[in-house]
């Protein structure tokens, strides 16, 4: 990557995988603009972000589209459990953005459920368990079968011990055991 290459960084993973923690640190290190719907909702009311989810979602897309018109790299966070990013990635590529996806995962869906419950216990926002389970499976499958093919670069990190272990990228597998753990939970379309 050249110094003046603008990049759309997509920090992805199912709920509870550590996306926000990772994305905030990543954005801070490189002084990148960070767009996250939950953080936007918190700016309206940190005690009741569910009340502002629709407004925050609209603001997320507004900020995302505005960021695509600027010649600066930026970071977004997503569960990657839907296909709405296909259009965004295509638009970013048309505007000469490099696409880098950093995908975070845990070993099981129950770990995601536990982490979200722990977040709620510590004052964070909740996600219904059925949504976490559904997104866990769909997110991994869409990353592996769709989105990684659209990326210029991708990286896979395991966050089971809250230490973001680098597992693989588009060129190599760094941890075969954890890579196998990831693949065993992927639905191949």
What's the mean pLDDT in 21-44?
Answer: 85
**Distance from chain centroid for Cα 108:** 17
| Residue 23: per-residue pLDDT | 92
Of 80 and 161, the one with more pLDDT? 80
- The class (CATH top level) of 7-184 is alpha beta
| Residue 45: per-residue pLDDT | 64
The three-state secondary structure class of 97 is coil
| Residue 2: per-residue pLDDT | 45
Give the tens place of pLDDT for each residue, 79-135.
Answer: 888 898 999 999 999 999 999 999 999 877 766 655 655 555 555 655 666 776 777
- Does residue 189 have a pLDDT over 70? no
- Burial class of 106 by CB neighbour count within 10 A (0 to 12, 13 to 18, 19+): buried
- Does residue 159 have a pLDDT over 70? yes
Angle between helices 37-44 and 53-67 (to 10 degrees): 120
- Give 9's strand partners: 75, 100
Distance CA(157)–CA(124), nearest Å, equals 23
Of 179 and 14, the one with more pLDDT? 179
Domain range list for the chain: 7-184
């Amino acid at each position: 990557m050249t110094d003046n290459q603008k990049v759309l960084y997509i920090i992805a993973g199912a709920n509870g995988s550590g996306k926000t923690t990772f994305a905030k640190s990543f954005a801070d290190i490189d002084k990148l603009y960070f767009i996250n719907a939950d953080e936007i909702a918190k700016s309206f009311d940190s005690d009741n972000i569910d009340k502002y989810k629709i407004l925050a979602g609209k603001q997320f897309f507004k900020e995302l589209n505005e960021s695509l018109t600027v010649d600066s790299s930026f970071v977004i966070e997503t569960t990657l459990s839907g296909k709405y990013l296909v259009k965004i990635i295509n638009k970013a590529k048309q505007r000469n953005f490099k696409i880098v996806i950093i995908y975070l995962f845990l070993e099981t869906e129950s770990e995601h459920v536990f982490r979200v419950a722990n977040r709620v216990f510590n004052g964070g926002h909740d996600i219904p368990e059925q949504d976490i389970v559904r997104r866990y499976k769909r997110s991994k499958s869409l990353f592996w079968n769709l989105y990684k093919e659209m990326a210029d670069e991708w990286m896979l990190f395991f966050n089971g011990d809250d230490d973001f272990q680098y597992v693989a990228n588009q060129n190599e597998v760094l941890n075969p055991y954890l890579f196998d753990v990831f693949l065993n939970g992927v639905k191949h379309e």
